[in-house]
Amino acid sequence: MAVAVQQLKRISGNNIATPKGFKAVGIHCGLKHKKYDLAVLLSEVPASVAGVFTTNAIQAAPLVVTKDVVKKTGQMQAVIINSGNANAVTGKQGMLDALTMQEKTAQKFGIAPNLVGVASTGVIGEKLNMEPVLKGIENLNPTSTLEGSIQFSQAILTTDTVTKNTAYRVEVDGKEITIAGTAKGSGMIEPNMATMLGFITTDAKVDTGHLQDALKTVTDLTFNSITVDGDTSTNDMVLVLANGMAENEPLCPDHPDWGVFMQALHAVAQDLAKMIAKDGEGATKLVEVEVSGAVTDEEARKIAKTVVGSPLVKTAIFGCDANWGRIIAAVGYSGASIDPLGISIKIGDTTVVKDGEPVGFSEEELLLYLKQPEVKIFVELNKGSGQGIAWGCDLTYDYVQINASYRS
C-alpha cells in the first residue's frame, strides 16, 4: 500500500452507487414507526464478493445465509437489508424468514437466489414481521442516483445519529475505478466485528480469492481497530462487491496497480470505521490512540484497542479529566510486552509521561484540549518498531439512557 496519497481522489457527494453498474434504494416498509427500514443494493451483473463476519458464536439467520453465499457461490448481485429487527435467536422460523427474503429479492430482480445476500439489524430475539418486509421488497426500485443511495444509508440505521458514506476514485490500467462504502453502527461495537454493517462497492475487476485477502487485510487495520462499548453482537458483517465494470485487467498482488487499489480500499474502510467510532451511542468525542515502539504491529494495535476501550479512560475523556494514570494502567493490562520505564504518553501535543515518569503539565491547557470533538493519545513504548492505531469514543450519560430504553 506504499502509494502516493495524491493518487487517491475523494469524491464529493459520495454514495454506494457511484461505481459503475450499482444501484441502491431505501424505503419505509413498516418495521419501524416512520423511518426507512428496508434497503437493497443491486449490481447490474454478478460481482465477486468478499465478507468478514462477527466472531460471536451466536449468529443471526441472515448472517448465516450471507456467509453461505460468500463461501459457496463467491459471487453476489444483490443484498437485501432490514433494520428494526435483527432476526437473531429466532430459531427455525428465523432461518425460514431469512431464506424467504433471499428468495423474494431474487424473484423481484430476476436473479438466482444464491446471488442474494441478506442482512438485518435491530432488536435481538423477536420474530421478524414478514408481511411488511415482503410487500416492501415488491416496492424496491433501486437507482444509481444520490437520492437512492442516501435512502439506502438511512434505511440501515438503528441508534445511529448520522449516515456514514465515503468514496474514492483511482486509476488502474489507465482506467478510472471507484470504491464506495456505506456503513451503520453506533453501539455494541468492539474489535473483531460487532453491531455494524458495512457495504463496499467497486467497479474494479478482482477475483474472489484476492478480494477476500484484501478485505481481511484492511479489516484488521480499520473495522477491527474500533470500539465503543466492548460488546460483540450477532449480525455484523462487512461485504465488498466488485463487479468488474471498469473493465480493467484483473487485479491481483502481482498487478502493478494492486497497491493503488489496496490504498483506496483501506481509505474507504478507515473512513467508515472512524465514522462509526465517532457516532458511538451518546458520544461527544472521537478518540484516537496511536501506539509506536511496540514489539510488533499486532501488539501495538492490541495496546491501542485496550486503551481506547477502557471504560475509565473513556469516562475521563468525557469529563475532560487529564487522568493519564488510567491510560498507563490500560497499557499495563493489555497483555502486550512492555517496559514500564520505557513508556511515554502524550495527550494531544502535551507530554504527561516520559520514560515511565510523570511530567508536569498545565491542567488548564489540557482541559481546553479535551473539550475538543477529537482527542488524540500517543503512547511510545521504546521496545521495537511496531505501530498501531485504534479509534473509539467517550462514554457518556446518554449511552446509559439510550441502552436502558432500547426496546421501549
Instruction: Please list the active-site residues.
Output: 195
**To the nearest 10°, the Cα dihedral for 106, 21, 49, 88?**
-50
The residues, any chain, with a CB within 8 Å of residue 68's CB and separated by 6 or more, are none
Say how far apart CA 1 and CA 151 lie, in whole Å.
Answer: 33
Say how far apart CA 139 and CA 109 lie, in whole Å.
Answer: 11
Residue 393, all three cell numbers: 469514543
The residues, any chain, with a CB within 8 Å of residue 405's CB and separated by 6 or more, are none
Which strand (E) or helix (H) includes residue 180?
Answer: strand 175-185
- Phi, psi (5° rounding) for residue 263? -65, -40
How far CA 248 is from CA of 21, 104, 259, 271, 347, in Å, comes to 14, 33, 15, 25, 45
Say how far apart CA 78 and CA 272 lie, in whole Å.
Answer: 21
